[in-house]
Amino acid sequence: MTDHDHDHDPRALRAEALEAILIERGLVDPAVIDSTLDYFENDLGPMLGAQVVAKAWADPAFKRRLLDDGLGAIAELGLGGPQVDHLVVVENTPDVHNVVVCTLCSCYPWGLLGLPPAWYKSLAYRSRVVREPRNVLAEMGCELPDDIEVRVWDSSAEVRYFVLPERPNGTDGLPEDVLAEHVHRDQMIGVAR
Ligand code: FE
């Protein structure tokens, strides 16, 4: 996954062509490719982001560093990745809800969240969430009160955004690994609260 995986990206076509040849020649098992992608998309990525969120909830000094210098803070946890040059972490509060998009293509903090979901790459999401974020969020099951400010962050090859969700009530004193189980991918993109 690179910065700009447009559907017509010649790199994507090359990857598909290479995959087809490797499978045809019996060099790779398509099930292995699928399970690797599935692992990346569903397990590995979002879990890493959830650990970052849990640590920020549990450790106010870490949270401050995360908001000031996202990349430096996640590097403390051994996280990052070659595609993340600048990571800007935006914090949800009772008054502000943040949501992330890449209007150009599908730039995404994949070092923390894995591969982007299909809807994130869709033209409908990319074009509409900027113009009518409340409607799009409501359609995705995230109804926001009228008095909350919605901020939409447009990712790029240079800057990746990551939402720090609000800590749920009733989670005082829980250890980080249990807190992390409360964090889901969509909250870190900002399409859920
Ligand atoms: Fe992009």
- Report CA(175)–ligand 1 centroid distance (Å): 35
Q: What is the mean pLDDT of the chain?
A: 88
Is 142 assigned a catalytic role?
Answer: no
Is 47:40 a contact under the CB 8 Å cutoff?
A: no
- Report CA(91)–ligand 1 centroid distance (Å): 22
Over residues 124-168, the pLDDT tens digits come to 999 999 999 999 999 999 999 999 999 999 998 889 999 999 999
Over residues 48-69, the pLDDT tens digits come to 999 999 999 999 999 999 999 9
Rounded Cα distance between 22 and 18, Å, is 6
Q: In the CATH scheme, what is the homologous superfamily, with its name and number, of domain 10-189?
A: Nitrile hydratase alpha /Thiocyanate hydrolase gamma (3.90.330.10)
pTM over 0.75: yes
Is 129:136 a contact under the CB 8 Å cutoff?
A: yes
